[in-house]
A and B are shown apart, each in its own frame.
Chain A
Amino acid sequence: MKQQEVLFQYLLRLGDTNLILGHRLSELCGHGPVLEEDIALTNIALDLIGQSRILLSYAAKAEGQGRTEDDLAYLRDVGQFRNLLLAEVPNGDFAVTICRLFLYSAYTCELLTLLCDSKDEYLAGYAAKALKEATYHLRHSTNWMVRLGDGTAESHHRLQTALNRLWMYIPELFDGDAIDVQLQETGIAPDPNVLKEKWNTRVNAVLAEATLNRPPDQWMGKGGRDGIHTEHLGFILAELQYLQRAYPGNQW
């Protein structure tokens, strides 16, 4: 693949994951367990969607076909989305919501730290900005992990169950393919193995503090980055894209 095409695909993976997780979290607007948490989760959703706009705008530019961030967000179908499956898992109970946010924020904090040294100047600039936001997301979700994991028998049980359930989507985060290899060789993206090592160190420390057991690595759910999704993504897009599908080209 040509370098621009590879970059386009990589940016879609980053941008789509943030868009879908941002949308998932925005579902909790008005439904958070307490007002402060409602505001926190939707603030994080806003950050993720804002980051996604930067990434998808840049992706559209890299593609060079005259598409815009809106075309990419609103006019692609399920098979053209490149997000990690972890992002599309339903919110479930608060344990699932917060555990997913923690696992993902730990990943983005490490990824963005490495991307700050990317040879792609724009991507490096983006990483420096987004890292400041992701640091707050990680801190918030880490606090909850420890509080719930090391909390009551019920909160511990729920969080361990959530962790076990989400674990099958973790290997996809570090499952390097030809796109990662090509971008790694050109100094644009980091080595997924380095990323995995850093993620493991950080996550293991929090799991220990939260008295949670790290689940064994078993069957891996993957395919999102190649456009093969769970049944949940279609429902997200039905809501996310409804207006542009019903009234094409309509403007706010």
Chain B
Amino acid sequence: MTAGDFNPHILGFFCHWCCYAAADAAGVSRYQYPPNVRVIRVMCTGRIDLRFILEAFGCGADGVFTGG
């Protein structure tokens, strides 16, 4: 597999107050980025339980992005 073929499936856990807001701001500014990430909004990254991350990998996520 070359780097060009790899199309990772990434799950993000975004803090409502900062990272999620930043992702919105990226939209407002029309920044373009690859459509590989899906986002679960949480009220704080403190909410993220290790089990969520393990479950995501268990379900086939290629990467997990926590942003807060």
A and B associate: no
